[in-house]
Structure 1
């Protein structure tokens, strides 16, 4: 999926799908248009669901996508829930990218659907994906895989992972809008498969620069990204997985970046930490729609 970006005289950019996105507002008129866009988003969020609709939605539509990391899957009751946004946060080198790579590999290898991987810091590693795929013990019992060579199996799985490099907020808007249009038109598919997992590693690399004062509408843009992601998850039954870094909270403590406005966005927030000098990681629930905060699980995330 290629992103075509260009500027028009009104500060808008047109994607390859003919869909316009708005850059940071430059004047009063742009600010009013931004507010109108937010109102339309709020209208979408204002749909009321009765109890039976919610129960049916949970039981019939929102399934789990296993990450392939036993501790995390057990902790979350099966893995990443479709229709929800899950955030993995933690210090540098704690294993956040490994969770993303394992999730992408496991979903693609088990033919559960396509994975779209948005890479913001050149963290996507095809060789690491290959290592993970060869280590999935129950992969080769699947129909057709046992008849393929090792390289053919890897090629088949890699075709189910769509990787896109995204290095700024405007490129992110572009790709998300293209994805939405493609999903509506059923164009993002491969042999009948549809995107079921969207990964952004790391979303804080794109959002932190715009909320530091350079962009007056930075926080509004951040919330717009949040609403688009949650809308994609809900309307197209995707699981959205994002990573976030940690910042100082004072007195030597640390906390997830992006502040209080973003804190309310994820349905599930896990903090990952790694033990010194080994690959044993601990996942701690910071936020969950069903689980109590503080629950933990250990898992192995080889480097």
Structure 2
């Protein structure tokens, strides 16, 4: 019952007794509960599930939602920003797909440095493979520094780095715990009028999801869908950019394709494919999927060591 544990703090009635009951019975059923508290817990779970569904929206509401508060955040990479007409769109889930050494983590670190430098709200970075490099972030900040930063280097660097919160996350249940705690914090910040997070990164989502997809059961795919829904919900409700990375696997004819399969590909709003010209600092990015762009649109960019 690990997925229920993160709810206990927000909904105390979903305590260990309720979780054990669900684990032993396998289903939620008021007829099988012998405790009034268990019945209340089941009702609470059903209301939580019901609240997960997005309301129906008509065309005008969707247009207004797309136009209001859905600005872009620059990645700090000129090629990607030009391709995306300004950068990563707030309120959306963007996925970077690529093989090893294609530049996925480098783009994440570059975006982290750029957003943390320019926005008070800062960045939450979920690191699933010990790939977060604070020194690399500092290097990016210094590469793009202006005279004001050069004159007050230490103070500026300290302020920027303090806006970055990094979590080491090595399984999907820990990710759920972190994301739900983030959701609670964002709601609190919204009520207080505090500066909110502007960028949430999961590098990489595939390393968390792939281990649970084995076997013939449906639980892994259900957890994957829940993770995708939660990431999109955070992006939409709190108007932040969610950026995730995904590796590639072998496909038909030896052509690589994004991992996680058909069930995942409909979840991101935007999918970008990255590749790297070996032996150079030149990277390539192309549009796999975009709500307002044709697939195949491409650009080149440079990331210096």
Deviations 1:205-227 (A, max 9, x none): 00000011286511101100011
Q: Does structure 2 conserve the Cα–Cα contact (< 8 Å) formed by 1:268 and 1:289?
A: yes
Q: Does structure 2 conserve the Cα–Cα contact (< 8 Å) formed by 1:17 and 1:178?
A: no
SS in structure 1 of the partner of residue 245 of structure 2: strand
User: Which position in structure 2 is the counterpart of 1:62?
Assistant: 70
Q: Which one of the candidate residues 165, 170, 178 is aligned to 1:167?
A: 170
Q: Does structure 2 conserve the Cα–Cα contact (< 8 Å) formed by 1:179 and 1:188?
A: no
Please give the alpha-carbon distance, in whole angstroms, between the structure 2 residues aligned to 1:233 and 1:155: 27
Q: Does 1:44 align with 2:44?
A: no
TM-score for the superposition, normalised by structure 2? 0.84
| Larger gyration radius, structure 1 or structure 2 | 2
- Higher helix fraction: Structure 1 or Structure 2? 2
User: Which position in structure 1 is the counterpart of 2:26?
Assistant: 29
Q: Does structure 1 conserve the Cα–Cα contact (< 8 Å) formed by 2:119 and 2:198?
A: no
1:279 CA displacement: 1.2
Deviations 1:73-103 (A, max 9, x none): 0101111100000000100001000010001
Gaps of 5+ in 1: 1-6
1:238 CA displacement: 1.1
User: Which position in structure 2 is the counterpart of 1:3?
Assistant: none
Please give the alpha-carbon distance, in whole angstroms, between the structure 2 residues aligned to 1:66 and 1:192: 22
1:8-27 paired onto structure 2 within 5 Å: 12-14=4-6, 17-18=9-10
Large movers: runs of 4+ above 6 Å:
20-23
Please give the alpha-carbon distance, in whole angstroms, between the structure 1 residues aligned to 2:251 and 2:243: 24
Q: Does 1:96 align with 2:104?
A: yes
Deviations 1:36-56 (A, max 9, x none): 589526x622x2223332332
1:69 CA displacement: 0.3
User: Which position in structure 2 is the counterpart of 1:291?
Assistant: 293
TM-score for the superposition, normalised by structure 1? 0.85
1:177 CA displacement: 0.6
Q: Does 1:135 align with 2:143?
A: yes
- Higher strand fraction: Structure 1 or Structure 2? 1
User: Which position in structure 2 is the counterpart of 1:242?
Assistant: 244
Q: Structure 2 vs 1, CA of residues 222 and 113 (structure 1 numbering), >3 Å: closer, same or farther?
A: same
Q: Does 1:105 align with 2:107?
A: no
User: Which position in structure 1 is the counterpart of 2:36?
Assistant: none
Q: Which one of the candidate residues 274, 277, 282 is aligned to 1:275?
A: 277
User: Which position in structure 1 is the counterpart of 2:231?
Assistant: 229
Q: Structure 2 vs 1, CA of residues 128 and 37 (structure 1 numbering), >3 Å: closer, same or farther?
A: farther
User: Which position in structure 1 is the counterpart of 2:159?
Assistant: 156
RMSD (CA atoms): 2.9
Deviations 1:244-297 (A, max 9, x none): 000011321110000000000000000000001011000010000000000001
Please give the alpha-carbon distance, in whole angstroms, between the structure 1 residues aligned to 2:229 and 2:183: 13
Q: Structure 2 vs 1, CA of residues 27 and 245 (structure 1 numbering), >3 Å: closer, same or farther?
A: farther
Please give the alpha-carbon distance, in whole angstroms, between the structure 2 residues aligned to 1:163 and 1:171: 14
Q: Does structure 2 conserve the Cα–Cα contact (< 8 Å) formed by 1:15 and 1:178?
A: no
SS in structure 1 of the partner of residue 250 of structure 2: strand
